[in-house]
Amino acid sequence: MDSKQTADFVQKEWTENVIPSLMDFIRIPNVSPAFDDAWYTNGLQNQAFDLVTQWAEAQKIENCKIELFKEPERTPLLFMEIEAHNSDQTCMLYAHIDKQPPMGVWMEGLGPYEPAVKEGKLYGRGAVDDGYGFYCAITAIKAIKAQGLPCPRIVMTFEGCEESGSRDLPYYMDKLSERIGTPDLICCLDAGCGNFEQLWVTTSLRGNTNINLTVQMLEEGVHSGTSSGIAPSSFRICRELLSRLEDEKTGLVVPRDFYADVPSSRLEQVAAAAAILGDTVVRQFPFVEGGHPVAKEAPIAEHILARTWRPALSVTGCDGLPPTAVAGNVMLPLTKLKLSMRLPPTLDAKQASQLLERILTADPPQGARITVEHQTAGNGWHAPLEAEWFGTAVHTASLTYFDRPCAHMGEGGSIPFMGMLLDMFPKAQFLVTGAAGPGSNMHAPNEFLHIDYSARLAMCVAQVVATLATIKPGEAAGKAAGEAAAGEAAAGEAAGVQAAVGDRKSFMDSFQMSGGNKLFFVGCDCGKTGCVIFDQGKEKICRPVKVAKK
Ligand SMILES: [Zn+2]
Ligand SMILES: [Zn+2]
């Protein structure tokens, strides 16, 4: 592929063809179904899908079939098929059209549905998550076609329900399975990047299990003056049970069964990412003055591993305790905690859930009544290890268009459909990437797309897909994902770091950037305000029902 031609072509397309249309896309408030009760009747999803479908048709790609599915009670899906040109390979590209809600007040001069370009950034809801992905996929293919190069058979799926847990995607994937075939490469353009200076490939996602733990000691509350010393505190019993899971001094999860071995190639990639990112890995969190990470002196690579490959426990909710303002001297009958356990990418989440229950309910301290309710259990995801061609292609692309090598990193959160794709296509290579970098605010006010970065990303995608086209049949697949761990020590003994909730930081950041107006988020699934919830296996900020200014 002629890199100069590719760069010129994509740059021109991005400026003249893509950004203007993406601005129109931003103007449509097609909020994902989970955040919009009227989504099915208000026509906004259709409006957004009609816009992108018409744009796709206007590109006049040869031998390209474009089909927009609108089915009863389902979000739409745009499906595109482009015949192969001198290639035996198949590549699938994925992005989503639905958007997050505004999530509060945007900075002055910006709005979720008023696109604005400032200092090379296109602001607006859906710009980077994930409107750009649609344009990136098509522009990359156009760049290959413009040079008359071999091109794999292309299938593109653009769904309308990602922000609501991709609940319609399995239906469409089943329906279209014959037409999708067996992709050799899957490009998911809905992930993030560690900086705006090179190509980033996401290699893993952590799993997660949520349970409610109830410890009941008394049938009803009693005066604490009368009863304490005789009646055990349910809160204290909770502390004892939590210590079975987590060492309260080190923050490490105790049972070894919650750990998994980290493949040696991933350890090398983590070391490389640590060298690139430095202490931003820990500085990105809003610690109070004097606050520091769980493992204070640990090297950066250890912090990265701790939030991508290690288990970590968070207590995310509590019932049974009254607010301090009204709390009296009462020995409370019960304490109920919501526990969220992040799991290594390769661990079975259902089994981990069962194990949690066994550990917590075994041998109840002081005869307490202990119950565990299972909430959600979602597996993580671990990309198949890179085939040689793929490793070379991503590095070449990054060096060509960014002048820096490609970087790889896992993510601490989850994307449910990635596991589904891996189950369906275990031999595919995965290019999971995106333009959501530092400060992109994709689930918060002031979302932006870094225009230059996203254009270069499209060049990289073109390069990788063009490389796939030239691979001989049967040589595209990588090694099986279950490579044995050479770095057991790293997975085992090294100190861990707290489970980081990626979305929360950018949310809080933009919270403070929103012009001094304090927001009040009232009401959500968990009864807390502005908190992180886990909806159908996908992490998100709770839905703001009411927004008030101070
Ligand atoms: Zn997204
Ligand atoms: Zn999102």
Please state the rounded mean pLDDT for residues 84-101: 96
Residues surrounding ion ligand 1 at CB below 5 Å: 129-130, 190
Please name which ligand lies nearest the alpha carbon of 191: 1
Please name which ligand lies nearest the alpha carbon of 34: 2
Residue 408 lies in a domain: yes
Please name which ligand lies nearest the alpha carbon of 101: 2
Tell me the pLDDT tens digit for each residue of 259-285.
Answer: 999 999 899 999 999 999 999 899 888
Full residue range of the structural domain in which residue 235 is found? 207-260+309-378
Amino acid identity, residue 473?
P
Residue 508 has pLDDT above 90, yes or no: no
Top pLDDT among 121 and 485 is at 121
**Domain C-terminal end among 328, 363, 378:** 378
Tell me the pLDDT tens digit for each residue of 344-371.
Answer: 999 999 999 999 999 999 999 999 999 9
pLDDT of 286 = 82
Distance 391 CA to ligand 1 centre (A): 25
Residue keyed to tokens 């002055």: 108
Distance 163 CA to ligand 2 centre (A): 5
CATH number at residue 353: 3.30.70.360
pLDDT of 478 = 62
Residue 475 has pLDDT above 50, yes or no: yes
Output the pTM of the full model.
Answer: 0.80
Give yes or no: residues 334 and 392 share one domain: no
527 CB burial (10 A radius; 0-12, 13-18, 19+): exposed
Tell me the pLDDT tens digit for each residue of 179-202.
Answer: 999 999 999 999 999 999 999 999
Give yes or no: residues 184 and 215 share one domain: no
Distance 129 CA to ligand 2 centre (A): 5
Give yes or no: residues 391 and 451 share one domain: yes
| 363: preceding bond cis by omega (within 30 degrees) | no
Give yes or no: residues 78 and 19 share one domain: yes
Residue 103 lies in a domain: yes
pLDDT of 539 = 40
Residue 273 lies in a domain: no
Please name which ligand lies nearest the alpha carbon of 97: 1
Residue 300 lies in a domain: no
Q: Which of 33-37, 186-190, 294-298, 487-491 has the lowest mean pLDDT?
A: 487-491
Give yes or no: residues 452 and 363 share one domain: no
Tell me the pLDDT tens digit for each residue of 393-445.
Answer: 999 999 999 999 999 999 888 777 888 888 889 889 999 999 999 889 988 89
Please name which ligand lies nearest the alpha carbon of 189: 1
Residue 213 lies in a domain: yes
Residue 274 lies in a domain: no
Residue 472 has pLDDT above 90, yes or no: no
Provide the domain count of the chain.
Answer: 3
Give yes or no: residues 177 and 224 share one domain: no
Written as one string, the DSSP assignment of 235-287 is HHHHHHHHHHHB-TTT--B--GGG--PPPHHHHHHHHHHHHHHTTHHHHTS-P
Distance 190 CA to ligand 2 centre (A): 8
SS (H, E, C) 462-501: HHHHHHHHCCCCCCCCCCCCCCCCCCHHHHHCCCCCCCCC
Residue 483 has pLDDT above 80, yes or no: no
Please name which ligand lies nearest the alpha carbon of 95: 1
pLDDT of 379 = 87
Give yes or no: residues 360 and 408 share one domain: no
Mean pLDDT of the chain: 86
Residue 507 has pLDDT above 70, yes or no: no
Distance 310 CA to ligand 2 centre (A): 24
Distance 503 CA to ligand 2 centre (A): 9
Residue 480 lies in a domain: no
Structure confidence at residue 511 as a pLDDT band (50, 70, 90): very low
Residue 512 lies in a domain: no
Structure confidence at residue 501 as a pLDDT band (50, 70, 90): very low
Give yes or no: residues 350 and 459 share one domain: no
Give yes or no: residues 197 and 213 share one domain: no
Distance 191 CA to ligand 1 centre (A): 7
Residue 473 has pLDDT above 90, yes or no: no
Distance 212 CA to ligand 2 centre (A): 26
Please name which ligand lies nearest the alpha carbon of 134: 1
Residues surrounding ion ligand 2 at CB below 5 Å: 129
Residue 471 has pLDDT above 70, yes or no: yes
Length, in residues, of the chain: 550
pLDDT of 297 = 86
Distance 436 CA to ligand 1 centre (A): 9
To the nearest whole percent, how much of the chain has pLDDT over 70?
87
Give yes or no: residues 49 and 142 share one domain: yes
Give yes or no: residues 459 and 442 share one domain: yes
**Domain C-terminal end among 357, 378, 399:** 378
Give yes or no: residues 195 and 58 share one domain: yes
**Domain C-terminal end among 412, 436, 469:** 469
Tell me the pLDDT tens digit for each residue of 202-214.
Answer: 999 999 999 999 9
Please name which ligand lies nearest the alpha carbon of 130: 1
Residue 485 has pLDDT above 80, yes or no: no
Distance 30 CA to ligand 2 centre (A): 13
Exposure class string for 482-519: b at 16+ Cβ within 10 A, else e = ebebebeebbeebbbbbbbbbbbebbebbbeebeeeeb
Tell me the pLDDT tens digit for each residue of 398-412.
Answer: 999 999 999 999 988
Distance 228 CA to ligand 1 centre (A): 51
- Residue 359 · residue 245 · CB < 8 Å: yes
Please name which ligand lies nearest the alpha carbon of 538: 2
Distance 130 CA to ligand 1 centre (A): 5
pLDDT of 217 = 97
Please state the rounded mean pLDDT for residues 244-260: 95
Please name which ligand lies nearest the alpha carbon of 35: 2
Structure confidence at residue 487 as a pLDDT band (50, 70, 90): very low
pLDDT of 479 = 52
Distance 449 CA to ligand 2 centre (A): 13
